[in-house]
Amino acid sequence: MQRINTGLIGFGEWVRNSYVPTLQEIDEAAVVAVSARSEDSRRAAQNMIGSDVKLYADWRDLLADDTIDAVMIAVPNALHAQVMEQAAGSGKHLFFEPPAALDSVQIDSVLSQLAACDQVIQADLELRYLPVIKMVRKLLDKGDIGEPLLAKIRLGCNWGQDGGNWRENVEEEGLFLWLGCWYLDMLDVVFAQVPQRVDVTGGHASNGRLLDYGYALLTYANERVGVFEINLVAIADTDITLHVAATKGEVIADLLTGNCRYRCKDGPWQLIEAARTWFRGDVRIDP
């Protein structure tokens, strides 16, 4: 297979801790260029990747580099629309962090340009690729628990207790553009469709204008219902669970451990061996 020459636009903590280590394990891909605004970030890229990596202070110069086949974009959210629109026209394959933009007009513009692209486009909605979510989808595809009627994804954490130590100002962009899209996406995975209507209610406790507790209610075709429960100011430990009620049974998945259990009508709970997750490595369920 031909090697994919990859350029990184942005070199913050997420790129350093996730993108680079993963790409270094893939023989078919090589990071050949990095763009970053600060000299310190460019120096860090060279230290991590090697002296041969091309360094750009301006991401536009990286997009103009014809030796690059694909780019991975992880810049501050306020820059997403500008970078994405130009990247879409570059002809390079794109991997990007949501959101596509910060308002509906910009989002429509960016998504229209991406839809017109011939190259591969991939959003980093990584939660849908967790092994435990694949288990849930497999149970649904096999018909073991029937058709999904109601799905609820819950995020409870203390990330926002007494004002969160946020790495960027997220008040203006709001909860769902900053964090919620990854969790709402899992409801789309369960129902294999996008919602027809979304209603949101919630409140503000410790994080200024940022909604830090509440619910999103999603209505899908055929009266299917999805719920996203969010509580950034929980007292207890982090809890990320998916509960699907279906026509012939139900399934509960713990995204932190990879544990998954399900039951069919009039049957006992059955445990599925936990799989590797992005949170805690390998975990097994005791019988």
Residues recorded for the chain: 287
Q: What is the pTM of this model?
A: 0.86
**C-beta of residue 221 within 8 angstroms of C-beta of residue 193:** yes
Contact 181, 99 (CB under 8 A): yes
* Calpha distance 119→84 (Å, rounded): 13
Helix (H) or strand (E) holding 5: strand 4-9
d(CA 126, CA 182): 7
Sign of CA dihedral 177, 183, 189, 191: negative
What are 135-180's pLDDT values in tens digits? 999 999 999 899 999 999 999 999 988 887 775 667 778 899 889 9
Supply the pLDDT for residue 115. Answer: 92
Computed over every residue of the chain, the mean pLDDT equals 91
- Containing 182, the helix (H) or strand (E) segment is helix 181-191
What local confidence, expressed as pLDDT, does residue 135 receive? Answer: 92
SS3 for 75-140 is CCHHHHHHHHHHHHCCCCEEEECCCCCCCHHHHHHHHHHHHCCCCCEEECCHHHHCHHHHHHHHHH
Under a CB-based contact definition with an 8 Å cutoff, are residues 94 and 62 in contact? no
197-203 and 213-219 beta bridge pairing: antiparallel
Q: Which residues contact 171 (CB under 8 A, 6 or more apart)?
A: 207, 208, 209, 210
Structure tokens at 48: 């991590």
CA dist 212 and 202 (Å) reads 8
Kindly report, residue by residue over 16-75, the tens digit of the pLDDT. 999 999 999 999 999 999 999 999 999 999 999 999 999 999 999 999 999 999 999 999
Contact assessment for residue 190 and residue 227, using Cβ atoms and an 8 Å cutoff: no
| DSSP β-bridge partners for residue 151 | 226, 244
**How far is residue 250's CA from residue 261's CA, in Å, rounded to a whole number?**
9
| 276 confidence band (pLDDT: 50, 70, 90) | low
Q: Tell me if the bond preceding 99 is cis, omega within 30° of 0.
A: yes
User: Domains plus CATH for the chain?
Assistant: 4-124 (3.40.50.720), 127-272 (3.30.360.10)
